[in-house]
Chains A and B, each alone.
Chain A
Amino acid sequence: MPHSASPPPAAPHPHNSLTRIGWRRLRRDRVGFAALCIVGAYLLLALAAWSGLLASHWQDEVAHPYAPPTLFAGTAPHHLELSAADIDAADRRATSAAAQDGSGATGLSADEDPLAADLAAAEQQSAQYRGAEQARADSLPLGADQRGRDVLQKLLQGSATSLQVGIAGALLALAIGTVLGALSGYFGGLLDDALMWGYSVFTSVPDMLLLLAFAAVSGRGIGTVVLVMAFTSWTGTFRLMRAEFIKHKGRDYVRAADAIGAGHGRRMFHHILPNVGHLLLVQFSMLTVALIKYEAILSFLGFGVGVTQVSWGAMLAEAPAELLQGYWWQMLAVTLCMSLLVTAFSLLADSLRDALDPKVK
């Protein structure tokens, strides 16, 4: 309502809405506020990486393969430069060979072959990087990977990807779950039956299996992963919102809104929704955490982000082979970076739950 923004003339100081009290409580909660700051910092970094301000050259091979972190330059296991480089070179030869006769391998011409375009793009890209030979560093702040790329840059870019997937997926899932849950809980009847049927269908398949089934038919890439995650994880929010709307539609304040002549839409979204908003915020934090973890597993198994993108999962996928040779830094960097964010998000969810609970005044 427009006039609610302007305080009445008689009011000497602004009063405490529940939201403002919740915010103040969150600020006083040291752990919660620290968690919020950490999440905020990650978001800023991700935004910078995403917009190209930071780590836009993560694919550059700036150091020797498996260059150690600066701090451990002396103590780290001396990398088998020759053999690693050999493997690397052999690897690249294989890739380029495949790219060159990519279309020849099948009996179809380039425009009939569905993979031809992808192969051509990959070929172009690898050609671009092959050309850029430059002086390579012996050590980097967080070390280098198999191809000599800077782990720090990869980490930044990977964080951006993982956060983007987690947050966008959570927002989309939240939107689907909230709208359907609100309709189902508020109106009930046949609509509720129909939506509950959809809910029972989606929940009768474990979410990881559903994710993989979706992944099996869809392509790779951030956009696809976000969609797949949203389609498979809306059910929790749906159940929560449906239950809340059933509970709230019978509350006296909603009845009172009915009595003063407020319509269905107004009752649902002006009256009930703000009163369940704090639950959505908590749900959002938990969903983001879950999706970030799922993304890691999906990308690890190779069904996640595309080959030209990097995410935490994609980085962890390189870890087992590296670990066997004694190169621990990439895995450690990803683990710490991911754990810090996930811990912060979990603590934030806990604090939000406490701070925004309207029952505690």
Chain B
Amino acid sequence: MNPAPPLLSVRKLRVSFRDEHGHGAEAVKGISFDIPAGKTVALVGESGSGKSVTAMAITRLLPEHGCHIDPGSEILFDGRNLLTASRRELRCLRGGDIAMVFQEPMSSLNPVFSVGEQIIETLMLHTGVGRKAAQQRALALLQEVGLPAPERKMRSYPHQLSGGQQQRVMIAMAIACEPKLLIADEPTTALDVTIQQQILQLLTTLQQKHGMAVLFISHDLELVGQFADEVVVMHHGSIHEHAPVQQIFEAPQDAYTKALLRCRPHLDRRPARLPVIRDFLGDSCHFEPPQRERGYQAEDRVILEVQDLCVDYHSRHGWFGRHSQRAVDGVSFRLMRGRTLGIVGESGSGKSTLGLALMRLQQASAGRVLFEGEDMLTLTPRQLRAYKRRIQIVFQNPYASLNPRCSVAQILTEPMLLHGIGCDAEERLQLAGDWLEHVGLPRKALAKYPHEFSGGQRQRIAIARCLTMHPEILICDESVSALDVSVQAQVLNLLQSLQDELGLSYLFISHDLAVVKHLSDQVLVMQQGRCVELADADTLYAAPQHPYTRQLLDAIPQGWPHCIRSRPA
């Protein structure tokens, strides 16, 4: 038996980056793997694992300055070493035999050229056809990737398309010249879940139809489990496990792979505490913690009641013209003391606006927000001060929500200073240190600045900042969405233990249904500003009533063996 040589083989690839002062950091530490022709290989890892660097190294798109590829490395494509190929050879390969799809479709398309022009350009470059023929072919491609009204879309500019449509255009451009290898770098990460599923479906169909090999790069193991043939798990620049997809899911060998599979919240289970990577790395054998029951109970007391809340965004046209758009449209719900209400929706559903309006960070246009019977929306700024302390918010992006010019001590003591908590600076500093330890950071972190922390640590600081004011309600606006799965599990565990200990009530806003299910007692589903379904978490997930809720649930990637294509036996 003599197996066909792989289409692409990466041999001992080492990539290091050098900053302006010559300090080198190795991003990829001598990895080797193969991509067989016509197969889908998924490269999975958290941020900083070196997966994107590997993809860029294959197409030689890494920046020329400050980036060093070890001379011992080899990337063989059809027997040719890409690392020593000439610029001319590379140009022929790129877009011809090797095509790429990137994460951000909006910025990856040139904003000033029409969509058709950008596809035609590729076609004319590599296939040498005339403009007329290229135009015909481009139209056919847009049809193939399922863009509605392709004739009109040919003349559209990227900003006139939605994110999903833009990504379809990128895919059409990539498959234009029938490449042998398609490299997709997190192609669905910037998209909503339902769109994500459509794009994956499209990619799988095209892969089978054209017999391409696909290198799919993602942070989401569950996602790639649905369609990959082989999975390569990367961590800190080296490969931890490389195996067929079935083996990865059914009998993972490596502790890190096991951890990745378990620490993400899952629709089928709700452990009291999510396992974290550390649980798998030691010798101690990991065992499943007890499951937690969720749902509002009869004896719960209402802490926040929202009635028919509406929020309008006004945009001004000229001096007198006004244009308003309803972002939240008549939403009502109740939050019980010590419970969690999850709010789910895709981008543009108004879920974040809702959170801001509750805190009066965004002006509401109608409705009532009753905090223990007092309507927050009608309070004067002076009266509001006392309530502001009791309802706090943790934002999505931990890099943006902490003032980069303030030390952690300043960040944590400022709210206490403003609300008169603690009698002097010394005491406030003491309290700040206590809260920092409470959220799992050392006291000496007080003297540091936000940029010295990782994303998860910053989110802990943001939580500690809220806690210094002894809030009763915490609004978590996509608070764990920007974090890697392993860090996400830690922060979710922290939020859970704080709720158990301090009796906090959470309003948990997220686009991720699995995470919401893990943490919520009741779930509210939003679509285009309206509430389409509100029910106890278990009820909603077991028997969704509204078609949109069902659509959302169907779109959740569930990994092997819920595959979205027919596999050869």
Q: Determine whether A and B are in direct contact in the complex, meaning some CB atoms lie less than 8 angstroms apart.
A: yes
Q: How many residues of B contact A (CB 8 A)?
A: 44
Closest to B396 in A: A252
Say if the beta carbon of A47 comes within 8 Å of chain B: no
Q: Which residue of B lies closest to A271 (CB)?
A: B403
In the assembly, what is the distance between CA of A7 and CA of B414, in Å? 16
CB neighbours (8 Å) of A260 from chain B are: 388, 392, 414-415, 418-419, 465, 469
Q: Does B14 interact with chain A (Cβ within 8 Å)?
A: no
A3-B428, A8-B433, A261-B389 as given contacts; A17 in contact with B419, CB under 8 Å? no
Cross-chain contact of A2 among B356, B402, B405, B425 (Cβ < 8 A): B425
Which of A4, A256, A262 gathers the greatest number of chain B CB atoms within 10 Å?
Answer: A256
Per-residue interface assignment for chain B, residues 173 to 208, with 1 indicating a CB less than 8 Å from any chain A CB and 0 otherwise: 000000000000000000000000000000000000
Question: Which residues of B458-477 have CB atoms within 8 Å of chain A's CB atoms?
Answer: 462, 465, 469
Tell me which residues across on chain B come within 8 A of A361, comparing CB atoms: 451
CB-based contact B415/A261 at 8 Å: yes
Contacting pair B446 A10 (CB below 8 A): yes
A1 CA / B428 CA spacing, docked (Å): 12
Interface string of A105-145 (1 = CB under 8 A from B): 00000000000000000000000000000000000000000
Contacts of B452 in A (CB 8 A): 15-16
> Does the CB pair A358–B397 fall under 8 Å?
no
CA separation between A19 and B388, bound complex, in Å?
32
B389 to chain A, nearest CB (A): 7
Residues of B within 8 A of A3 (CB): 409, 413, 425-426, 428-429
Q: Which of B401, B413, B418, B451 contacts A262 (CB 8 A)?
A: B418
Specify the chain A residue showing the minimal Cβ separation from B425: A3
**Counting CB contacts under 8 A, is B444 at the interface?**
yes
Residues of chain A in range 233-255 having any CB-CB distance to chain B below 8 Å? 251-253, 255
B152 at the interface (CB under 8 A from A): no
Q: Are A257 and B404 in contact (CB under 8 A)?
A: no
Q: Please name the residue on chain A nearest to B449 by beta carbon.
A: A17
Is A265 positioned at the interface, with any CB of B under 8 Å from its CB?
A: no
Q: Does B129 contact A (CB under 8 A)?
A: no
- With CB as the reference atom, state the residue of chain A lying closest to B433: A8
Picked from B361, B402, B410, the residue with its CB within 8 Å of the CB of A253 is B402
Cross-chain contact B413 with A1 (CB below 8 angstroms):
yes
Which residues of B407-444 have CB atoms within 8 Å of chain A's CB atoms?
407, 409-410, 413-415, 417-419, 425-426, 428-429, 433, 443-444
1/0 per position for B139-152, CB-CB distance to A under 8 A? 00000000000000
A-B contact count (CB 8 A): 108
Contacts of B310 in A (CB 8 A): none
Known: A17-B449, A260-B465. A8 touches B443 (CB 8 A): yes
Given contacts A1-B417, A255-B395, A260-B415, contact A14 B447 (CB under 8 A): yes
Q: Mark A20-51, 1 if CB is under 8 A from B, else 0.
A: 00000000100000000000000000000000
Residues of B within 8 A of A15 (CB): 407, 447-449, 452
Contact of A252 among B397, B418, B433, B443 (CB under 8 A): B397
Chain A residue with minimal CB distance to B319? A193
Residues of B within 8 A of A258 (CB): 361
Least Cβ–Cβ distance between B466 and chain A, in angstroms: 8
Decide if A274 is an interface residue (CB 8 Å cutoff). Answer: yes
Inter-chain CA distance A16–B392, complex, in Å, is 29
Asked if B401 and A253 sit within 8 Å, CB to CB, the answer is: yes
Please, how many angstroms separate the alpha-carbon atoms of A11 and B432 in the complex?
14
Instruction: Answer whether residue B400 sits at the interface, using C-beta atoms and an 8 A cutoff.
Output: yes
The reply on B359 being an interface residue by CB < 8 A is: yes
A336: CB under 8 A from chain B?
Answer: no
A residues in contact with B405, CB < 8 Å: 17-19, 274-275
Contacts of A275 in B (CB 8 A): 403-405
Q: In the complex, A257 Cα to B433 Cα: how many Å? A: 20
CB distance from A287 to the nearest CB of B (A): 23
Residues of A within 8 A of B397 (CB): 252
- CB within 8 Å for A11 and B446 given contacts A2-B425, A18-B404, A261-B389: yes
B80 within 8 Å of A (CB atoms) = no
> Cα distance A10–B462 when bound, in Å?
21
Across the two chains, which residue of chain B brings its CB closest to A254? B403
B361 with A255: CB separation less than 8 A: yes
7 further A-B pairs in the complex, CB-CB below 8 A; given A259-B361, A260-B465 = A3-B426, A10-B433, A11-B447, A255-B361, A255-B393, A258-B361, A260-B392
Interface residues, chain B, with chain A CB atoms under 8 Å away: 21, 319, 356, 359, 361, 385, 388-389, 392-393, 395-397, 400-405, 407, 409-410, 413-415, 417-419, 425-426, 428-429, 433, 443-444, 446-449, 451-452, 462, 465, 469
Sample (18) of A-B pairs whose CB atoms are under 8 Å apart: A1-B425, A3-B413, A10-B443, A11-B447, A15-B452, A16-B448, A16-B449, A16-B452, A17-B405, A18-B404, A252-B400, A255-B393, A256-B462, A259-B361, A260-B419, A261-B388, A261-B415, A271-B403
What are the 4 A-B residue pairs with the smallest beta carbon separation, nearest first? A3-B425, A11-B447, A252-B401, A260-B415
